[in-house]
Amino acid sequence: PGAAGPALRVEGLSRHFGSLRAVDDVSFEVAPGSRHAVIGPNGAGKSTLFALVAGALPATSGSVWLHGEDVTSLTEHGRARRGLVRTFQHSSLFLTATARENVLLAVQRRHGIQARPWGAVRRRRALLEEADAVLERLFLHRRSGQAAGALSHGERRQLEVAVALATSPSVLLLDEPAAGMSPADTQAFQEIVLALPSDVTVLLVEHDLDLVFGVADRVTVMQLGQHLLTGDPAQVRASDAVQKAYLGA
Ligand code: ADP
Ligand code: MG
């Protein structure tokens, strides 16, 4: 439903912690196929907003819409089943399984194969091909036989995206992917975001402005829980209000 409308819309979204308005009446839209970044100084409410959109945290008020459907009352799992998928945390990777096996498990989940994962030989081959295509897209094909636990920090982040992508999301949520990454890993991660399929909408919450301006076609700026501005990267760079927010005014 709602193919022509925004992929994702938040409407008057708020989350209060006691008297603190961590997210305060935020509204914006994410266009289908866009690479949309949410930025803002520390404490702006980015992580809280991300949790509200993913469904990991209930909103105090407001709503979240996915392709025209109100998903506010759905759990994180319910939203994921409708295609709103966040990257999985490190802890959700099977560290002793190979990169390929981790992606294959996600492909199997997507096809609803649980009881007899190895099924018919032909089907197994098709699933493996799907897993390998995802690994190749994420530049991990040379690592496919490595245990996830043996990958570098940056490669594990890549694998988390691969696992999320293997579930065939319509909207992919990336939560501060560059956090704790070296400059080289961040640079590599930029290539990965740029290589994601164009029909997957990406909402990226990120502190690293080099990464944001390297990948985003649309940027939402938050400050002290509030929506400051949504615009294209040039508009955001040129904004006096954004400059002030980042200089800690
Ligand atoms: P950002 O990710 O932009 O740095 P956060 O969303 O983490 O911002 O935090 C926004 C504000 O909400 C901060 O003042 C933070 O201290 C507060 N906050 C976040 N989570 C909680 C929580 N679980 N309980 C109380 N305050 C919180
Ligand atoms: Mg944060």
Using DSSP bridges, classify how beta strands 218-223 and 35-39 pair: parallel, antiparallel or unpaired: parallel
Q: What is the DSSP letter of 82?
A: T
Using CA atoms of 151, 95, 196, 167 in order, give the dihedral in degrees to the nearest 10: 170
Please write the tens of the pLDDT for every residue from 232-247. Answer: 999 998 998 888 887 6
Q: Judging by beta carbons within 10 Å of its beta carbon (0-12, 13-18, 19+), is residue 118 exposed, middle or buried?
A: exposed
> Taking the mean position of all CA atoms in its chain, how far away is CA 197?
13
Residues 147-165, mean pLDDT to the nearest whole number: 92
Residues 88-109, mean pLDDT to the nearest whole number: 85
Residue type, 170: S
Residues 199-215, mean pLDDT to the nearest whole number: 92
Ligand 1 neighbour 5 (Cβ under 6 A): no
Ligand 1 neighbour 47 (Cβ under 6 A): yes
Ligand 1 neighbour 221 (Cβ under 6 A): no
pLDDT for residue 249 is more than 50: no
Ligand 1 neighbour 46 (Cβ under 6 A): yes
ipTM of the complex: 0.98
pLDDT for residue 115 is more than 60: no
Query: pTM for this structure?
Result: 0.90
The residue whose CA has the least distance to atom 13 of ligand 1 is 43
31 CA to centre of ligand 2 in angstroms? 23
Q: Give the domains, in start order, of the chain with CATH numbers.
A: 1-83+169-249 (3.40.50.300), 95-168 (no CATH)
> Taking the mean position of all CA atoms in its chain, how far away is CA 181?
16
